[in-house]
Chain A
């Protein structure tokens, strides 16, 4: 047992060279923020700028609250903060020495932007901010033991965070009568905002038990996600099912930013065996060179 722990601890510090999927995951996390900015370009000044449609409102008068809501009360600051955010997020996509400084700035500016427009934001943004935070110390190639350790730790934390979000969401669903009865899925199908006419019409004539089946598949998937995504035999199906659910959310529920945010971490869960072998040996068999 002690030998295994020693091997594991030593493995965390060996020089680190990322695999293509790990690099892609970190790049996509920051690319998502650039995508988000351009996707919402048409409304960005109406939510955050000087023509904002949001009424300013008070928060608890603590130093931290004042700091995170600073942009909300200083609309003129938005433009420079937004430009800095865009630039640092863009450069954070790439992997080079010292990029962690830009990634830290990208996270802080994202926090500001989130709280300045909090009423127009969805959970996808917060989710990406969490992943963004974990990716700050990541380096795609780390020769020094300390940075190699931090890189591995950042990916481990991001992976745990993804698993927990699914798991906690499943727990909430399991305590909701709407999900247990399948009505939540039915309401999604017939919603004016989160559906389209074809699906609405189909949902109104199809047998109700189909909604129930979908609801239980989703709950089961989310509840078992941390296991099925890490178990080699089920991983492929977990990825296919997860991507399908989020594609549905993007295409039919019109929540593209949220759907893409949820799809990005799936890149992290491919090539897990390759990753494990690199945790405990010096050999780097990066498929993308």
Chain B
């Protein structure tokens, strides 16, 4: 191979690498500058092939949250149970990660759409959201899978989910809070 060809190859390769890492940097910090054109170019480059979150473990939340569910089976309500326990998946399961995603979105709904009336928390706007729907669907699908596995035929006509918070503030009191959503009619096996 000719020396000039080598130089052209190396120059081109290093230019492409430089461009790649520059655009990756612009993509990584896209929320920290306000230049729409640059952001648009960075997004088009970064997503979907070179996406990365970069802000790993930033921030850490000051609470843990859990999705709990209960069903009306054969005319009686079961006790609320944390879904990881009910469906027996481990903390390192992808299902657990999906639960975390669902609860994080419900948190956002609570931040943005919770309101109070006569001193009582109103959850109706949250219950109209896709995020709430996603949580219900998640539980419903897990229950359906469990019933398939265990060959259960007990009739379920309703279910209810709730979001349980464990706060562990620094130098503060450990406390819990519960957001109990409305009971909903479901057809588990459909």
Residues of chain A touching chain B, judged by Cβ–Cβ distance below 8 Å, are 6, 9-10, 12-13, 40, 42-44, 46-47, 51-55, 57, 64-65, 68, 111, 115, 117, 119-123, 126-127, 130, 133, 145-146, 149, 153, 156-157, 160-161, 164-165, 168-169, 171-173, 176, 178-179, 183-188, 190-193, 208, 254-257
Contacts and interface: CB of A to CB of B under 8 A. Distances in A.
A43 B56 contact: no
Interface in B55-75: 55-62, 64, 66
A98 to B, nearest CB: 22
B94 A120 contact: yes
A133 B58 CA distance: 26
Given A123-B56, A168-B25, 19 more contacts: A9-B7, A40-B94, A47-B94, A47-B98, A53-B137, A55-B130, A115-B48, A117-B94, A119-B98, A120-B98, A126-B51, A130-B50, A145-B6, A157-B17, A165-B52, A190-B168, A192-B64, A193-B64, A254-B90
Given A9-B6, A53-B95, A160-B21, A46 B145 contact: yes
A274 to B, nearest CB: 22
A130 B24 CA distance: 11
Contact of A186 (B89, B145, B170): B170
Interface centre among B20, B59, B144 (most CB of A within 10 A): B59
Contacts of B60: 178, 183-185, 187-188, 191
B21 A164 contact: yes
A193 B100 contact: yes
Interface residues of B, number: 55
Contact of A119 (B7, B93, B101): B101
B142 A53 contact: yes
> Taking chain A's interface residues, is the majority helix, strand, or loop, or is none over half, making it mixed?
helix
B54 A169 contact: yes
A185 B57 CA distance: 10
* Nearest 4 Cβ contacts at the A-B interface: A192-B64, A172-B55, A187-B60, A53-B141
Contacts of A188: 57, 60
